[in-house]
Amino acid sequence: MSAFNKLKPLLKKPLFRSSEARAIGISAALLAYYVKKGFIQRVDRGVYRGVNAPQNVDFQWEDLFYAVKSIPSGVVCLISALAIYELTDEIPRAHWIAVPHAARAPKRKMAKIIRMRNMNLGKTDIKLGEEKIKIFDKERTIIDSFRYLPFEIAMKALKMGLKLGGEKKLNQRRLSDYAKKLRVNIRPYILAVTT
């Protein structure tokens, strides 16, 4: 079987890592050759996609999708998550991605890497178009905003979150539970925006 035929299953994915190619016997030099020939594109360091790979992501979130998918164990967080949930007026200049505290964080252009503990708390999947990404839920994102972002941004996110209705409504019990687990005293802020 030729090297390029071995690569074909990876070309069907939205993107793949050089480590995946290496696992099936494709060297970095061969990947560079395929990039030069126009068979694949280099998205970022160690991250590739086939030129005809499906693009099933909303155009607005395409860069964020590639950034988070290119980072092993990466989870969309903070400003990027607030933007997806429409809980901020901030326009993210970089894609905010959380990685486990002990993990080696890869360098990615346009990505702001945040090391966090307790990565499973509030982690969920959402669809951007037809593709799924890992993201912290609204409640965890708001609590993390009080931990990592300027107070004004966190308060605005809380205020906007508490105004949500229907299926987008914040789960206040979950919000309080996360605040307790992450040691953030959210109660005074909830009282301030609800009275």
**What is the per-residue pLDDT across 14-72, written as a single tens digit (0 to 9) for each?**
778 888 889 999 998 999 999 998 989 888 778 888 888 767 766 677 888 888 888 88
Tell me the C-alpha to C-alpha distance, in Å, between residue 73 and each of 27, 32, 36, 67, 98: 24, 25, 29, 12, 8
* Residue burial 139-169, b: 16+ Cβ < 10 Å; e: rest: bbbbbbbbebbeeebbbbbbebbbeeeeeee
Q: What pLDDT digit, counting tens, does each position of 142-179 carry? A: 999 999 999 999 999 999 999 988 888 899 999 999 99
